[in-house]
Amino acid sequence: MTHLRQLCLSAFIFLTACTVSLLPDYDQKLHQGLNDANKDAHILFSALSGGSSKAQFSKHAAQYHKVIGSFGALLTRAKTRPQPDGAQKISSKFRKLPKLGEICAEVEADQGCAIVTPRAINEIIETLSKMRDRHKTRGLPDGLLTLLVADYEISIEQALTVEAALQ
């Protein structure tokens, strides 16, 4: 994860030196929304600490809905944020660089590889939905919870790092 942060920061510094903007404008509401939803997710994780049985799902259903719904709204906001004209052009160049190429290969072609926030939020929603569905159908053992939280952390750190760098 440290390498990704360094990579994002290096890319941001490089891109801010360009006279043409290749990154979207900072969206304070998106950044704050990510922080708020992250807090709610961690409250859910804390409530589930140690695992939770299928019978206990109904006790946590509202928390799941709130957190997944919050990230869903943030995904819409991130996807509809205006993108600079140069983002798609630079995307093809980034894809040729070793580390950036790995990130760019995972991002939808129409977004440009400098735009990682929508992808990260989508991964968060997928992870939380897997967690909810598993909890509802079979319960959520502590070991699986730990793995899903680790997946979540990777994605939220990517989104928060990029959004903070846009400030």
Instruction: Kindly state the average pLDDT of the residues 44-73.
Output: 98
Higher model confidence: residue 110 or residue 36? 36
CA angle 67, 70, 75 (to 5 degrees): 125
CA angle 101, 120, 129 (to 5 degrees): 135
104, 40 contact by CB (below 8 A): no
Q: What is the pLDDT of residues 87-123, one digit of tens each?
A: 555 555 555 555 555 555 555 554 555 578 999 999 9
111, 22 contact by CB (below 8 A): no
| Cα–Cα separations (whole angstroms), residue 107 to 73, 94, 144 | 19, 12, 27
Range of lowest pLDDT (11-20, 44-53, 147-156)? 11-20
Q: Which amino acid is at 150?
A: A
pLDDT of residue 166: 86
Q: How far apart are CA 76 and CA 109, in angstroms?
A: 17
Residues for the chain: how many in total?
167
Helix (H) or strand (E) holding 71: helix 57-79
Three-class DSSP category at 87: helix
Chain mean position to CA 31 = 11
DSSP classification of residue 133:
H
C-alpha distance across the termini of the chain, in Å: 21
Range of lowest pLDDT (34-43, 69-78, 113-122, 153-162)? 113-122
Query: Which sequence spans correspond to the domains of the chain?
Result: 2-166
pLDDT at 135 over 70: yes
pLDDT of residue 24: 80
Distinct helix (H) and strand (E) counts, the chain = 7, 0
Task: Indicate the average pLDDT of the chain.
Answer: 84
